[in-house]
Structure 1
C-alpha cells in the first residue's frame, strides 16, 4: 500500500484562535482510518482542511502524490476527494434521488456512469432506493445520514471523508452505517472517518486520536481493541 493522503506540519486557526498545531499523519490507499477525539479536538477542522473548505496557515496536504495547495473544494471533488459533512446537511425540499444526483455534479455529463453509481449507492443503502421519491426532510435521522454518505459517494471518490456519522443515531443505526462504511472500503474506496464514538474502532484499520489540536496516538490492528486505550484518551 502507498499513502493516498499525506498531511504534514499542518497549522490551522480561525482568526487569532489556533486549532491545529502542526499535525502529521498519513492515510494509506485502501484502508479505513478513524480520527477519534472529544468535542473541540480539531477533528472537523482537519477534514475540512483536506476538503479545501478551510485554508491552512502552513503545512501541506498531499493527495495521490500531488500537493493540493490552493486547489478549490470543487477541484478536489473532481480530483477524487468527497466530504460527508457533520450534521448531514441534506437538501430537505429535494427528493432522495435529487439529493444523490447533486452529489454527482462534477460527473453530470457522464450519465451512464452516474446511473451505475446511483445503483451502487442503492445497493449499499436499500432504504434509500425504497424512498427515492420522498423528500429528504421527511426522512428519519438515520436515513438522512445514509443519504449524506450516499450523496458523497456519487462523485465516485478515491478518498471519502465522513464527519461524525454516528452523531445523534441509535447504537443499532450507527453500527449499520459503520458496517456499510467498512463495505465501501472493501470495495476499494479509501475512508477517513471522524468520530467521537469509540464504537467505530473495530471497523478501523488505523486509528488517530486527537486532543486539543494535536495527534496523541496512532495505532493499527489489535492495538485498537485495547480498553485501556479508550479509557486513557476518550473516557470510554
Structure 2
C-alpha cells in the first residue's frame, strides 16, 4: 500500500473521529442544561404580591432582590440543613426590617408579614420536571392581601441564582414580571389559597389574533392538501444508496 492510500485512510479516520467527538459534545451540553431537582432537605423563599398590578409586581421583585441577597449572605457557606434552618429562623427580624425598608424607600404604605415554617406550595411544571404540591420548609413573605402572582426559589442549598430560561437572577417558578408581558402564570392553587389570574383586555386581543392566525394556517394547509402537485414524476427510478467510505476503502484495498 503506497503512502497516498495510507494518507487517504488516515483522513477518513480523522473525519469519523471528528463526528464522534461532535456528537459526544452535544450530549454533554444537553446533560449540563438538564433541570436540577430540588433536594428533600431544602429551604425555599416564597413571596406573594398584593395583586397582579404592575406596581405590586414591581414591589414584589424589589423585595425579592433585597431579601434574597440578604439570606444568601447567611447560608452561602452552610452545608447542614438543620444549621441553615436555625440561622434563617434567628434572622427573621432582620428580614422583616428589610421588607419594611423596601416599602419605605418606595413610599408605599402596605402591610406585610414574614413567616418561617411549613408553607403550602402549588404544583409547578418547569421544563420536563414536575415539582409536586405540598408543604415545604420556607420563608413566606406576604405583601398586602397576598392575592397577586407568587414567586419562589430555593434558598438552601443556594439555587436562587440559577435560571434555565434567561439570565436574570431568579430560579424556578417565575419569569421576571414585565408590564408588557402578556403571558399568564398558571399553577394549581395551594391548599387554602384562593388564587385567580385575570386576563386583561390586551391579553384577550392577543389571544383573538392568535386564533385568527391559526385558522388562516389551517385554511392554507387544506388548500395545499387538495391541490395536485405539478411536480409528479411519471417514471421514478429506484434510489440506489451507496456508502462512499466503504467503496473508497474497497478501491484502495483490493
TM-score (norm 2): 0.22
Structure of higher CA gyration radius = 2
| Higher relative contact order, chain-length normalized (CA < 8 Å, sep 6+) | 1
TM-score (norm 1): 0.23
Structure number with higher strand proportion: 1
